[in-house]
Amino acid sequence: MKRRLFSPLRLLSTTFMLTATSLNADTYYKVEIQDLTLDKAQKLPEQALALGIWDTKRQQAVSVRIPESSGQAFTAFIQEGEQQQHRWHTPEQKELQIAIQLKEPKKTKGIINLWMSNDQRQKKLQSYAFQFDPSTAKPCSKEQFEALRSQHYQRLANGHLPGTAWFRHQAGAPQKENANTRRNASDLDDTFAIFSGGRAISENLALDRDLILATSKDKPDVEIKTIKGVTVKAIDWTDKLPSDPVSVDPLSHYIPIDQHALFVPSINDLFKLIDHIERDGAPVIQSFTVRNPFRTLPSRYRRQMGLDVPDMAAKLLPIQSVAVTGGDPFFPMGSDVAVLFESDKPELLFQSLSKTIELKAKQHQAKSLKAVDVSGSSKHLAFENTDRSFSCHLLLKGTLVAVANSSEQIKRLTAVTRDRSLGASEEFRFFRHRYPIAADESAFVYLSDATIRRWCSPELRIGASRRTRAAAALGELNARALAEQPIGKDFDGLLGSCKLAGSSIHSEHYGNLGFITPVSELKLTSASATEAQAYEQWRRGYESGWAQVFDPIAIQLKLKPDSQALDITVLPLSVDSDYNEMIDLVGEASLSPKARSVPAESLLYFALALDKNSELFDEFDKDLVEMLPGLKINPLSWVGNSVSLHLEDGFFWKAVQNTKMSEKLIGQLPLAIRVESTSKMKLALFLTAIKGMIGSSAPDLVRYETRKHGGKSYVAVLTDEEELNGVQISLYYAALPSAFLLSLDENILHRAIDREAETIAEGPALDALPQAKHCLFESNPRFLTGLSKIIDDTDLEETRRMESWRAIPILNEWHRRFPGQQPALIHQQRFASDLYCPGGKGYQWNAEAMTMESVAYGHPGAPRNDAPPLSWLTRFNSLQSSLGFEDGGVRIRAKLYNKQAPEKNKAPKQNKGEVLSTAKELINLTEGNTWLYKNTIHNGDEISIKSSVTSSTNGTATVTHDQTLPDGSKHKSTSKHHIDQNGFHLLEYANPALSLKLTEPDLELPPTLHKGDVISSNASGKQHYEGKIFPFIQSSSIKIIGRESITTPAGTFKDCIKIEKSSNQLYLGNVQTIHATKWYYPGLDCIKTISRVNGQVSTTELVKIITPEK
pLDDT digits 0-9 by tens, 544-557: 765 455 568 999 99
Pairing of strands 639-648, 511-512: unpaired
Helix (H, G, I), strand (E, B) or coil at 862: strand
Q: Which residues of the chain have pLDDT under 70?
A: 1-24, 41, 79-88, 118-122, 173-187, 189-190, 192-213, 281-289, 292, 376, 545-551, 572-579, 629-630, 632, 660-664, 720-728, 788-794, 901-912, 1094-1095, 1110
The model's pLDDT over 88-138, given as tens digits with 9 standing for 90+, comes to 678 888 889 999 999 999 999 999 999 887 654 567 888 999 999 999 999
Kindly give, in sequence order, each residue whose CB lies less than 8 Å from that of residue 42, ignoring residues fewer than 6 positions away: none
Question: In terms of DSSP bridges, do strands 1096-1106 and 1014-1025 run parallel, antiparallel, or are they unpaired?
Answer: unpaired
Total residue length of the chain: 1110
Per-residue confidence (pLDDT) for residue 720, from 0 to 100: 65
| pLDDT given for residue 792 in this prediction | 62
User: What end-to-end distance do the CA atoms of the chain give, in Å?
Assistant: 125
CA neighbours closer than 13 Å in the CB half-sphere of residue 119 = 3
User: What is the 3-state composition of the chain as percent helix, strand, coil, each rounded to the nearest 5?
Assistant: 30, 35, 35
Sequence-separated (6 or more) residues with CB below 8 Å from residue 1: none
Q: Which residues contact 49 (CB under 8 A, 6 or more apart)?
A: 33, 34, 92, 93, 94
The residues near 976 (Cβ < 8 Å, ≥ 6 apart) are 956, 957, 958, 959, 986, 987, 988, 989
Tell me the C-alpha distance between 461 and 464, whole Å: 5
pTM metric for this prediction: 0.81
CA geometry: angle 607, 612, 618, nearest 5 deg: 115
Closest to 34 measured CA to CA, from 94, 108, 75: 94
The angle, 0 to 180 degrees and rounded to 10, between the axes of the packed helices 529-543 and 181-190 is 60
How far are the Cα atoms of 340, 471, 499, 1108 from residue 200, in angstroms, in the given order?
31, 10, 24, 81
Cβ(873)–Cβ(797) under 8 Å?
A: no
d(CA 788, CA 803): 16
Distance of CA 938 to the CA centre of its chain: 47
Helices (H), 554-674: 580-586, 615-627, 651-656, 663-666
Fold of 915-1106: YmcC-like fold (2.40.360)
CA distance 940 to 250: 82
Express each pLDDT in 658-707 by its tens digit. 776 666 677 778 999 999 999 999 999 888 888 888 777 777 778 889 99
Q: At what angle do helices 823-831 and 458-482 cross, to 10 degrees?
A: 130
pLDDT recorded at residue 539 = 86
Strand, coil or helix: 709:
strand
For the four alpha carbons of 59, 60, 65 and 69, in that order, the dihedral sign comes to positive
Question: What pLDDT, on the 0 to 100 scale, is given for residue 116?
Answer: 86
Sign of the dihedral through C-alpha 886, 889, 890, 891: negative
CA 712 vs CA 75, 677, 724, 833, 1108: distances in Å? 70, 16, 30, 65, 52
Rounded Cα distance, 716 and 1092, in Å: 14
CB 150 within 8 Å of CB 157 = no
d(CA 799, CA 788): 10
Three-state secondary-structure class, residue 931: strand
- What are the DSSP E strand ranges found in 234-297? 260-264
Rounded Cα gap, residues 419 and 250, in angstroms: 13
